[in-house]
Amino acid sequence: TPRILSGMQPTHDSLHLGNYLGAQVSWVRMQSDFDAFFCVVDQHALTVGPTPEELRRRTRVTAAQYLAGGIDPERSTVFVQSHVPEHSQLAWVLNCLTGYGEAARMTQFKDKAGKRGTEGTNVGLFTYPMLMAADILLYDATAVPVGEDQRQHLELTRDLAQRFNARYGTTFVIPEAHIPAETAKIMSLQEPTAKMSKSADNQAGNLMMLDAPKANTKKIKSAVTDTDNAVRYDPEAKPGIANLLRIHSALSGEKVDALVEQYAGENKYGALKTDVAALVAEVQEPFKARVDELVGDPAELDRVLARGAERAREVASATLARVYDAVGFLPAA
Ligand code: AQP
C-alpha cells in the first residue's frame, strides 16, 4: 500500500477550521486507501518557544484532535515527532544538502522573520523546512495531504529528495503534495484575503475547534463581507462571501453553485451566516466532546501514541540506515 504522511504543530491548544478542512478532512478520507502516518510535530512547535507545560499539554490535545476528527488509530499510525529521533537525525543530513539562499527564500520563514526581526528569530525556524522534509522522506510517503500554504515546503522536499538521489543513488521516494482544491485555503473571517492562522493578530478571524460553539457563532455573525448585498461566488471582488460559501460547501457537501442559487435575492448574507454557524456547530460539538473525553483520561491516548511511535520507528530507522550508509557514515559496529 502506498504511504501518506502529514502533521500539525502543537503551537496552540485548539486547531482552527482551516486546519480541519484544509488538512484533516482529507487525512480521514485518505486513511482507507493509504498506509497513513499522522504526526504531532512537537519539534516544529518548539520554534515558537512554548513553556514545557504548554508543549506537553498541546501535544496531547493535538493528538486527541486527530482522533476526534476521525483518524482511526487501528488503521493509521498516530505518533509524536520527538518520540522518533530519526526525524532530527535525517534533518541534519538534509541541512547539509540545502543551500543557504534556498532556505532563505522560503516565504513562511521570510514572513515570520519579517515580523520578529533577525534577533528575535531562532535558527530552528530557519531550518524548519528541512525538518519537515525529513518528516516526509523517512516514511517513503508518495502523497502529503496539506493546505496550500505548505506547497513551497513540499517543493523543497521534492528538490532535496531528487538532489540526494542524484548524488548518492536512489534512496528516497519523491512525494507529491495532495492539496484539496475547494478547501486549500480557508480565510480569516476578519481579513478574508489572509489565511485563517493560529498565529494571526486578530483572533476574531479564527474559528477554533475547541471554543464554545456560541463563540464561533458570534465570530461568523461578525464576519467581514461587502456592501454589494447579493450572494455570488467571486473570490476577488467578494472574498468574505466566497470564504463563507466554501466553508458551507465543505461542511454541507453541497456545490458552491447550488448554494449561490439557494441564497439568491437580496439580504441573504444573514441567512448564509446563520446556516454556516449551524454547520460549524454541528461538527464542533461532538469533536469537542470526544477531545474532552480523551484528554480527561489520557491513558488511551498515551497507549495509541506509544504504539504509533513503535511502528513509526520501524519504518524510520530502516530509511535512516539507508541514508547513513549512502552518505558514507561509518557503521557503529
Ligand atoms: N487557513 C488554512 N486553510 C487550509 N489549510 C490550512 N492549514 C493551515 N492553515 C490553513 C493546514 O493545516 C495543516 C497544519 O498546519 P500547521 O500546524 O503546520 O500550522 P500552520 O500551517 O502554520 O497553520 P497556522 O494555523 O497558520 O499556524 P501558524 O499561524 O502558527 O503558522 C497544514 O496542512 C496546513 O497546510
The predicted-structure confidence for 93-109, as pLDDT tens digits, reads as follows 999 999 999 999 999 99
How far is residue 32 CA from its own chain's centroid? 19
Residue among 66, 171, 84, 187 nearest 135 (CA): 84
Cα 308 to Cα 4, 37, 179, 302, 316, distances in angstroms: 15, 9, 25, 10, 12
Residue 151 CB burial class (10 angstroms; 0-12, 13-18, ≥19)? middle
Which atom of ligand 1 is nearest to 150's Cα?
Answer: 35
224 DSSP assignment: -
Per-residue pLDDT, 116 = 87
Mean pLDDT of 228-247: 95
Grouping H, G, I as helix, E, B as strand and the rest as coil, residue 36 is: strand
How many A from CA of 229 to the centre of ligand 1? Answer: 31
Distance CA 288, CA 13 (A): 12
Per-residue pLDDT, 201 = 81
Percent of the chain whose predicted confidence (pLDDT) is above 70: 100
pTM for the structure as a whole? 0.94
Confidence of residue 332 (pLDDT cuts 50, 70, 90): confident
195 DSSP assignment: B
In the Cβ-directed half-sphere of 178, how many Cα atoms lie within 13 Å? 20
Mean pLDDT of 73-91: 98
Distance CA 60, CA 37 (A): 17
Q: How crowded is residue 19: how many other Cβ atoms within 10 Å of its Cβ?
A: 24
Which atom of ligand 1 is nearest to 15's Cα?
Answer: 25
Mean pLDDT of 287-316: 97
Grouping H, G, I as helix, E, B as strand and the rest as coil, residue 31 is: coil
ipTM over 0.90: yes
Distance CA 291, CA 20 (A): 14
Per-residue pLDDT, 180 = 84
How many A from CA of 304 to the centre of ligand 1? Answer: 24
Ligand 1, from 132, 149, 251: best to mutate by most atoms within 8 Å of Cβ? 149
In the Cβ-directed half-sphere of 271, how many Cα atoms lie within 13 Å? 12
Residue among 23, 37, 34 nearest 81 (CA): 37
Residue among 2, 20, 18 nearest 291 (CA): 20
Q: Inform me whether the pLDDT recorded for 183 exceeds 90.
A: no
Amino acid at the residue 14: S
What mean pLDDT value characterizes the chain?
96
Distance CA 108, CA 126 (A): 9
Ligand 1 lining (C-beta closer than 6 Å): 8-9, 11, 16, 18-19, 22-23, 146-147, 149-150, 185-186, 195-199
